[in-house]
Amino acid sequence: MNTLIFYIILFAILLICELLYFHIARYYNIGDNVTHRSSHKDYQLTGGGIIFIISAIIFWIWYSIWQQTPPFPHFDIMMKCALGLAIISFVDDIKDLPPITRLIVHIIVVAITFSHILQHGYIDIYILVLVGGVGLINAYNFMDGINGITAGYSIVSLGTLLYCYTETPGIPIEFIVSLLIAILIFTFFNFRKKAVCFSGDVGAIVMGFLILFLSVELILLRNDATPIVFLIVYGVDCVYTIFQRLFMGENIFLPHRHHLYQVFANQWGISHYKVAIGYCSTQLFINILYFFIPEDYRWTYVIIVIILLSIAYFVAKRSPLSKQN
């Protein structure tokens, strides 16, 4: 089958699946009610990100039939883990699971997916990937709180990785394009003043996991960890917010409104789509500039970016507007 025809068929299938899911979600009342911790003002359907895993599965089937071989090493293991993660996350969307249960599942999934690193004796790298990977998955879920932020940030992340893999062969770009098609469909329903749905755990966690896999594989292929800067905006917000909540004596696994993007939307009164555009544009600018930095200076660039984002975070958090209730 021609690749372009596959993309067209994939788009049609995913669009139908998304529209069908909306009917199912409304019928079974799969959504988030408004609470004092919410950033939205109305009841919201959730779980619209279910098409992310559907897109990956369709690609898996198509590529296996087309090439009669796995797309790349460890892909089958990764997909089985992603599918398991999607099932658990969707159950969590329907009925809240205990935080410890979710955390254990995330640890197991990341541990199995990247177990091939241990085959080369890189125990230290494996531990870093395990800790950082679980953190990234949860960060992606934590940041899914306002219209458009998961959609836009995923487009920036996948677009950057797509460019990287055109220069560093290792993972077929058709896989990334398939995920982009899914996120673009979701974006149409989410990135608007009144979102039709949110991605839910099944979307945010799975997308975070898939981007984690693509990023780690890229780092291993290049033997260069500087691509961590491609997710640095989320990273800075999540890490500092976790420390803030620990300092305040809060349970970091419970919902809250302390992330900087939540502060912008709730205390500062900036519209959701403007906050989302701001986050995505900042990450996009950082990613584009990265490719103009000579390789010998990229770690210096990463450090400078972290310092600047850290300053911006603390300045914004100390603003009088951020202290309003």
**Parent domain of 131:** 3-28+43-323
The pair phi, psi for residue 84, each rounded to 5°, is -60, -40
Least confident range of 22-26, 129-133, 219-223, 247-251: 247-251
Q: Which residues pair with 44 in a beta bridge?
A: 32
Residue 108 within any structural domain of the chain: yes
Q: Is the per-residue pLDDT at 321 higher than 80?
A: no
Residue-wise pLDDT tens digits, 71-108: 777 888 999 999 999 999 999 999 889 999 999 999 99
Residue 252's pLDDT is 81
Residue 206 lies in a domain: yes
pLDDT range class, residue 171, cuts 50, 70, 90: confident
Whether 33 is in a domain gets the answer no
Say if CB 311 and CB 239 are below 8 A apart: no
157, 214, 150, 216: which is closest to 186 by C-alpha? 150
What per-residue confidence (pLDDT) applies to 210? 97
Tally of CB atoms within 10 A around 205: 31
Arithmetic mean of pLDDT, 121-140:
93
Q: Using 50, 70 and 90 to split pLDDT, how confident is the model at 258? A: confident
- Of 207, 255, 254, which is closest to residue 234 (Cα–Cα)? 207
Alpha carbons 98 and 102: distance in angstroms, whole number? 7
What tokens appear for 74 in the block? 């460890």
Q: Is the pLDDT of residue 192 over 70?
A: yes
Q: Is residue 230 part of a domain?
A: yes
Assign 322 a pLDDT band (cuts: 50, 70, 90).
Answer: confident
232 within some domain: yes
Cα-flanking dihedrals φ and ψ of residue 145, to 5°? -125, -15
Q: How many C-beta atoms lie closer than 10 Å to residue 199's C-beta? A: 29
Q: What is the mean pLDDT of the chain?
A: 91
Share of the chain above pLDDT 90, in %: 70
pLDDT at 41: 59
pLDDT in tens, 212-223: 999 999 999 999
Q: Is residue 124 part of a domain?
A: yes
Q: Which amino acid is at 59?
A: F
Helix (H) or strand (E) holding 15: helix 3-28
Tell me if 277 is assigned to some domain.
Answer: yes
Q: Cα–Cα distance between 74 and 153 in angstroms, integer?
A: 26
Count how many domains the chain has. 1
Which amino acid is residue 205, in one-letter code?
I
pLDDT-above-70 percentage for the chain: 95
Position with higher pLDDT, 42 vs 220 = 220
Confidence of residue 16 (pLDDT cuts 50, 70, 90): very high
Query: Which stretches does DSSP call E strand in the chain?
Result: 31-32, 44-45
Does 273 reside within a domain?
yes
Straight-line distance from the first to the last Cα atom of the chain, in angstroms, rounded to the nearest whole number: 56
Report which of 179, 290, 143, 279 is spatially closest to residue 229, judged by C-alpha positions.
290
pLDDT at 323: 66
User: pTM of the prediction?
Assistant: 0.93
Q: What pLDDT, on a 0 to 100 scale, did the predictor assign at position 1? A: 64
Give me the pLDDT at residue 294, please: 97
